[in-house]
């Protein structure tokens, strides 16, 4: 069953077109990845999916509802969320307040203390740092807050925009482990990554993007076997 | 030296008023990123509303404060989308256009008030207008008019309520999130438009209430807004743009500087002195007294 169904969307920044006729879908419980070089349009795609920028054409469907045209706060209320590029935490707020904003929505507000406990059990380090302001954390800890905050929303679909960017090798492994754990628990995941090797290993299905267009797709194995993809993204 | 206790008391009273003028103004800047030059005119409108309500009903102006808050909250709530439109434009420089727009609003409001109310100046009579408390501080006599004490209590109450709202309520959590990162707040489900309208409404409501208070303590007039706009701007810059926790201290400092200068130096140069002090502080600490502004 398709949870996300994107049908030939285009996005423009003023007169400049960033996305051209993008179509793809994500089935329930799948981990689907989107890879591509810098500037290909990955972040733009994610922003359009959650309503942060409007689409100029096409349609985004989520569980049978059309979400293109809805403002971001309505889209996330339906159960899609994004762990954005560069974390985008609330820098002056404490770690705990950052997490609690995740339960801002009415549908999650009543059970927020239980959800918070669950997040702290996934990331015990955050509980130790709960009163610290977010800007004082290390990059890896900030990524945990960003993921924890998204999980506080009790999403059905969680999208990640380059979650391993700028992290130490150990933290990169930890982030991938968390994503795989969430996948195993049944969450639907849409992952944008530069770390192509590892992404192809964990993803059920992959799309490849170039200059605002989808130029390839397949399972990780299929893409690894594809000569042009290997040359462009894997470097061998 | 025997004048000092009185100067300090006056300064604290004055500072209290500046808190209420500046705190919601600062919050609005933090959330909407607009400096609302019409703040003095909201104060003026509130003052006139209080004046006429008192004249028509004969009831004490302090009883009207909640009514005035609700009415002006509504006005602010309805006007905010227009300002939001100006600020979220993609053509030109939206920040500058926002400044010009609120400046234009201020001029229009003032013109309207001059036409309707004329040039007279008056004050609003209240049950607190007459009395005063007299203290003896180390042999120096200190007089505090009741109405000023009530003004200070009002300032503390407003500060406490805003503090509670921001730190303890879900709405306040959303407001803080919005002020720190608009897109991320949206991802958390915060409706930036509606929250912005609420914040602007709260600010206009508080400013109008403060106007009634100022009308009781000092006087009202169509041009009264000018100096309050300047003071609001001073306090917010001194506190650090958008740094709310700095506002009470900056307001108190401003009140004290002003009252001490008025007693010991030349009263007609007070504003100049305040300017100089603000300038020096910004020279040393460009992001306000606490270095935490933007
Ligand atoms: N706010 C913006 N205004 C104008 N152009 C933008 C904006 N954001 C991104 N772009 C352009 O859109 C294209 C896609 O960018 P982006 O989606 O960030 O790519 P990616 O995430 O794959 O690196 C790039 O050419 C980029 O320069
Ligand atoms: Mg990107």
- Name the residue among A77, A90, A97 with its Cβ closest to that of B184: A90
Give the DSSP letter string of B185-238. HHHTT--HHHHHHHHHHHHHHHHHHHHHHHHHHS-B-TTTHHHHHHHHHHHHHH
Q: Which helix (H) or strand (E) covers residue B125, if one does?
A: none
The ligand with the least distance to the CA atom of A209 is: 1
Determine the residue of chain A that is closest to B91 in CA distance.
A14
Which residues of chain B lie closer than 8 angstroms to A111, CB-CB? none
B90 to chain A: which residues are within 8 Å by CB? 14
By the 8 A CB rule, do B25 and B207 touch?
yes
User: Which residue's CA is the nearest one to ligand 1's atom 5?
Assistant: A13
Band of residue B126 on the pLDDT scale cut at 50, 70, 90: confident
Ligand 1 pocket mutation pick from A17, A18, A54, A84 by most atoms within 8 angstroms of CB: A18
Prediction ipTM score: 0.95
Q: Residues of B with CB below 8 A from A76's CB?
A: 186-189
Q: How far is CA B50 from the centre of its chain?
A: 17
Flag if B188 and A82 touch (Cβ within 8 Å).
no
Q: Is residue B162 situated within a structural domain?
A: yes
pLDDT at B3: 83
Lookup: tokens for A39: 């500037």
Cβ atoms A8, A53 nearer than 8 A: no
Domain at A2-79+155-234, CATH class: alpha beta
Asked whether the predicted pLDDT for residue A235 surpasses 70, the reply is no
Q: Is residue B291 part of a domain?
A: no
- pLDDT at residue B68 is higher than 90: yes
pLDDT at A108: 96
**Domains of chain A by residue range:** 2-79+155-234, 89-154
Largest CA distance in chain A: 52
Domain that holds residue B80: 4-222
Torsion of CA B146, B152, B154, B159, to 10 degrees: -170
pLDDT beyond 80 at B272: yes
- For residue B242, give both structure tokens: 């958008």
Q: How far is the CA of A88 from the centre of ligand 1 (A)?
A: 17
Residue B93 makes CB contacts below 8 A (sequence gap 6+) with none
In a domain, B227, yes or no: no
What distance in angstroms lies between residue A163's CA and the mean position of ligand 2's atoms?
Answer: 10
- Is residue B73 a part of any domain in this protein? yes
Angle (CA) B61-B22-B109 rounded to 5° is 65
Residue A63 has pLDDT above 80, yes or no: yes
Task: Reduce the DSSP state of residue B169 to 3 states and report it.
Answer: coil
* Centroid of ligand 1 to alpha carbon of B63 (angstroms): 56
Q: How many CB atoms sit inside 10 A of residue B63's CB?
A: 14
φ and ψ at residue B265, rounded to 5 degrees: -120, -145
Angle, helices B225-239 vs B94-117, to 10°: value is 150
CB contact B92 to A (< 8 Å)? no
3-state SS, residue B117: helix
Tell me the CA distances in angstroms from A18 to A10, A53, A191, B107, one per residue in order.
7, 12, 19, 43
**pLDDT(B2) > 80:** no
Query: Would you say how long chain B is, in residues?
Result: 294
Residue of A nearest to B173 (CA): A101
Tokens standing for residue B95: 């920040």
B140 domain residue, yes or no: yes
For residue A135, the model assigns a pLDDT of 96
Q: Is the pLDDT of residue B203 over 70?
A: yes
Determine contact: A88 vs chain B, CB below 8 A.
yes
pLDDT higher than threshold 70 for residue B1? no
- Is B118's pLDDT higher than 80? yes
Smallest CA separation from ligand 1 atom 25, residue: A39
Between A112-122 and A139-151, two packed helices, what is the crossing angle to 10 degrees? 140
Sign of CA dihedral B197, B202, B288, A134: negative
Give residue-wise pLDDT tens across range B128-147: 888 888 888 888 888 899 98
What's the per-residue H, E or C state across chain A? CEEEEEEEEEEEECCEEEEEEEEEEEECCCEEEEEECCCCCHHHHHHHHCCCCCCCEEEEEECCEECCCCCHHHHHHCCEEEECCCCCCCCCCEHHHHHHHCCCCHHHHCCHHHHHHHHHHHCHHHHHCCCCEHHHCCHHHHHHHHHHHHHCCCCCEEEEECCCCCCCHHHHHHHHHHHHHHHHCCCEEEEECCCHHHHHHHCCEEEEEECCEEEEEECHHHHHHCHHHHHHHHCC
Q: Does residue B81 fall inside a structural domain?
A: yes
Return the residue in B167, B185, B189 with the most chain A beta carbons within 10 A, the one to mutate for interface testing. Answer: B189
Predicted confidence band of residue B286 (pLDDT cuts 50, 70, 90): confident
Q: Are strands B132-137 and B140-145 parallel, antiparallel or unpaired?
A: antiparallel
Confirm or reject contact between B169 and chain A (CB < 8 A): no
For B136, other C-beta atoms within 10 Å of its C-beta total 9
Query: Which pLDDT does position B270 carry in this prediction?
Result: 81
Residue B154 has pLDDT above 80, yes or no: yes
Please choose, from the candidates B294, B258, B273, the residue with its C-alpha nearest in 3D space to the C-alpha of residue B18.
B258
Strands in chain B per DSSP E: 132-137, 140-145
Contact B186, B21 (CB under 8 A): no
Contact B177 A82 (CB under 8 A): no
CA of A166 to the centre of ligand 2 (A): 13
Pocket test for ligand 1, best of A14, A39, A47 (most atoms within 8 A of CB): A39
- The structural domain count of chain B equals 1
């Amino acid at each position: 069953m398709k949870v996300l169904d994107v049908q030939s969307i285009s996005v423009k920044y003023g007169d400049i077109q960033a996305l051209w006729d993008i179509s793809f879908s994500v089935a329930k419980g799948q981990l689907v990845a989107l890879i591509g070089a810098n500037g290909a349009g990955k972040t733009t795609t994610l922003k359009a999916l959650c309503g942060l920028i409007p689409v100029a054409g096409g349609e985004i469907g989520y569980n049978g509802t059309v979400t293109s045209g809805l403002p971001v706060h309505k889209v996330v209320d339906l159960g899609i969320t994004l762990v954005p590029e560069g974390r985008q935490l609330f820098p002056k707020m404490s770690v705990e307040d950052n997490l609690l904003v995740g339960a801002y929505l009415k549908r999650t507000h009543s059970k927020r203390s239980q959800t918070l406990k669950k997040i702290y059990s996934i990331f015990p380090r955050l509980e130790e740092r709960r009163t610290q302001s977010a800007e004082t954390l290390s990059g890896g800890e900030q990524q945990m807050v960003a993921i924890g905050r998204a999980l506080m929303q009790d999403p059905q679909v969680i999208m990640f925009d380059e979650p391993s960017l700028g992290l130490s090798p150990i933290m990169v492994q930890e982030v991938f482990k968390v994503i795989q754990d969430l996948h195993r628990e049944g969450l639907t995941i849409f992952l944008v990554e530069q770390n192509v090797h590892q992404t192809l290993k964990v993803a059920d299905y992959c799309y490849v993007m170039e200059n605002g267009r989808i130029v390839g797709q397949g399972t990780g194995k299929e893409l690894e076997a594809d000569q042009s993809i290997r040359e462009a993204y894997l470097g061998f | 030296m025997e004048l000092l206790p009185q100067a300090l008391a006056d300064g604290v009273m004055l500072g209290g008023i500046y808190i209420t003028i500046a705190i919601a103004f600062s919050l609005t800047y933090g959330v909407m990123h607009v400096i609302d030059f019409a703040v003095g005119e909201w104060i003026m409108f509130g003052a006139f509303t209080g004046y006429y309500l008192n004249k028509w009903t004969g009831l004490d102006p302090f009883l009207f404060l909640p009514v005035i808050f609700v009415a002006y909250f509504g006005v602010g709530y309805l006007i905010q989308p227009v300002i939001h439109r100006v600020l979220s434009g993609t053509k030109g420089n939206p920040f500058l256009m926002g400044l010009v727009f609120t400046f234009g609003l201020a001029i229009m409001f003032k013109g309207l008030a001059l036409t309707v109310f004329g040039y007279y100046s008056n004050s609003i009579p209240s049950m607190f207008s007459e009395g005063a408390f007299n203290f003896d501080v180390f042999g120096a006599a200190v007089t505090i008019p009741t109405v000023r004490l009530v003004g200070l209590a009002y300032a503390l109450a407003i500060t406490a309520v805003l503090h509670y709202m921001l730190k303890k309520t879900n709405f306040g959590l959303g407001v803080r999130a919005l002020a720190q990162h608009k897109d991320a707040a949206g991802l958390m489900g915060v409706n930036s438009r509606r929250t912005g309208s609420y914040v602007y409404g709260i600010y206009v409501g508080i400013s109008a209430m403060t106007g009634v208070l100022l009308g009781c303590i000092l006087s009202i007039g169509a041009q009264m807004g000018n100096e309050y706009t300047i003071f609001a701007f001073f306090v917010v810059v001194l506190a650090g743009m958008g740094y709310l926790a700095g506002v009470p201290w900056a307001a108190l400092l401003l009140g004290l500087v002003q009252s001490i200068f008025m007693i010991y130096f030349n009263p007609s140069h007070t504003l100049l002195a305040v300017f100089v002090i603000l300038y020096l502080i910004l020279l040393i600490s460009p992001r306000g007294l606490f270095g935490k502004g933007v």
